[in-house]
């Protein structure tokens, strides 16, 4: 069966032989291919050796590649330096390298499609799996393959200018108003121009400062105040249950203390408020997922399904460091970096804003004024890199426990690729999980 799988040994020999004829082509080769793209395992080993030397910025020739293969314990299996010399004979013209690379990658993708579809068929035939779960897993696997197709061509300048003209026309027709989803907070909207499509937004704070409450209110406001109350919000909570989330929403809207909703000791008036605002909540398109074991693939599949149904305008994830990934990583920092990049890609793929909550490191508590900085983002510098907007929640009362908690809170817009940075003053009422912007007069 393996011999019948799509492949071209001549194309594989040609791309490898080209590097020995012109070592400067190593970058093009290693940028576009992986060792697993080669059908012949011997060719895969040779590619790994070339890739390793290229990353080490060392010379690439017959001697250095054979030396690297010897270090890998694969030189004898490959057939020695003679095999490397023979590869050059298969390269007809260096000008055709891109064609050979495309062939190798194309056949590799076909083999992956065959493998995945066979696995899907086997799973359906041999396991007792629910239909919905089976379809979701099949969709996820096929989607992962589709991402491996070659990236699109360059866009000519004319097309980009036309897109900018269309955007400017849209902005002019809105007379300076916000162009994204409104957050429900006037000043915050002025700073970030609303929650923009494709933006990856980080909301970070130390534990118990109120980041979950703020995220809940952003989700609630986005659902209520956009598209005539029909905007769709996907809320992934890896720490709190769905009931806890909705309880906070009801507390926020109905002006009933959280503690009363947890104990059930409501006055007759509060029961009326509870029923009235519960009815209003029922009309909103907010979709919850409180699976503590959610991984990136699950989140992507569920969001993709909502988007296909036209029910997705915002994604909120509470919180980033609790997301699992399927692939093995060498360190926690690398894992968080992959999660961050994937969430940015998700925002671009589905063309919706993604808000991800993040923890701050303890270093913020060692600073003199306890004010968070971008360098305090926990476990990965790539979070700062990937994010379009980074917002911090800061409360002096959190660090000065002897002070009475007046609820004074700062939302610090520390990074904003497309707009202003600065501090917006809020009042946070923990009993009602509610944030209110201070008026200009109060400030």
Q: CB–CB of 185/194 below 8 Å?
A: no
Phi, psi of 428, deg, nearest 5: -110, 125
Rg (CA), the chain: 27
Which member of 239, 243, 365, 400 is catalytic?
A: 239
Report the distance separating Cα 290 and Cα 282, nearest Å. Answer: 18
Residue 239 annotated in active site: yes
* C-beta separation of 429 from 217 below 8 A: no
Contacts of 300 (CB under 8 A, 6+ apart): 140, 143, 342, 346
20-24: list long-range contacts, CB under 8 Å, 24+ apart.
20/60, 20/61, 20/62, 20/65, 20/84, 20/85, 20/87, 20/88, 21/88, 21/91, 21/94, 22/94, 23/59, 23/60, 23/61
CA distance 311 to 303: 9
| Count of C-beta atoms within a 10 Å radius of residue 373 | 14
- Catalytic residue numbers read 239
């Amino acid at each position: 069966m393996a011999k019948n799988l799509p492949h071209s040994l001549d194309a594989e020999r040609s791309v490898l032989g080209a590097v020995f004829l012109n070592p400067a082509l190593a970058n093009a080769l290693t940028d576009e291919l992986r060792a697993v793209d080669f059908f012949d395992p011997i060719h895969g080993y040779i590619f790994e050796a070339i890739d390793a030397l290229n990353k080490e910025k060392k010379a690439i020739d017959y001697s250095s590649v054979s030396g690297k293969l010897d270090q890998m314990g694969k030189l004898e299996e490959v057939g020695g330096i003679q095999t490397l010399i023979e590869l050059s004979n298969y390269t007809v013209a260096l000008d055709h390298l891109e064609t050979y690379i495309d062939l190798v990658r194309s056949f590799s993708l076909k083999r992956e499609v065959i493998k995945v579809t066979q696995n899907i068929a086997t799973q359906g035939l041999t396991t007792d799996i629910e239909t919905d779960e089976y379809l979701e897993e099949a969709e996820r696997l096929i989607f992962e393959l589709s991402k491996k197709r070659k990236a699109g061509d360059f866009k000519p300048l004319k097309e980009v200018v036309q897109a900018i003209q269309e955007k400017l026309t849209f902005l002019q027709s809105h007379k300076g108003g916000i162009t994204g989803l409104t957050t429900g907070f006037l000043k915050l909207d002025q700073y970030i121009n609303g929650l923009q499509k494709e933006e990856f937004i980080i909301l970070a704070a130390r534990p118990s400062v109120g980041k979950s409450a703020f995220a809940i209110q952003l989700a609630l406001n986005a659902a209520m105040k956009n598209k005539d109350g029909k905007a769709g919000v996907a809320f992934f909570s890896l720490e709190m249950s769905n009931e806890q989330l909705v309880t906070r929403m009801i507390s926020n809207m109905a002006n009933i203390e959280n503690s009363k909703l947890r104990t059930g000791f409501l006055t007759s008036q509060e029961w009326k408020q509870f029923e009235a605002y519960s009815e209003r909540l029922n009309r909103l398109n907010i979709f919850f997922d409180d699976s503590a074991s959610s991984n990136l693939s699950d989140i992507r599949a569920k969001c993709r399904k909502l988007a296909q149904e036209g029910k997705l305008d915002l994604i909120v994830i509470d919180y980033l460091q609790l997301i699992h990934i399927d692939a093995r990583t060498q360190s926690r920092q690398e894992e968080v970096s992959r999660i961050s990049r994937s969430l940015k890609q998700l925002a671009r793929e589905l063309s919706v804003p993604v808000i991800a909550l993040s923890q701050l490191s303890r270093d913020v508590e060692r600073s003199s004024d306890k004010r968070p900085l971008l360098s305090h983002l926990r476990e990965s510098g790539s979070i700062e890199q990937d994010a379009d907007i980074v917002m911090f929640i800061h409360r002096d009362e959190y660090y000065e426990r002897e002070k009475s908690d007046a609820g004074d809170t700062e939302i610090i817009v520390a990074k904003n690729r497309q707009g202003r940075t600065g501090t917006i003053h809020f009042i946070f009422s923990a009993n009602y999980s509610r944030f209110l912007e201070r008026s200009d007069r109060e400030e």
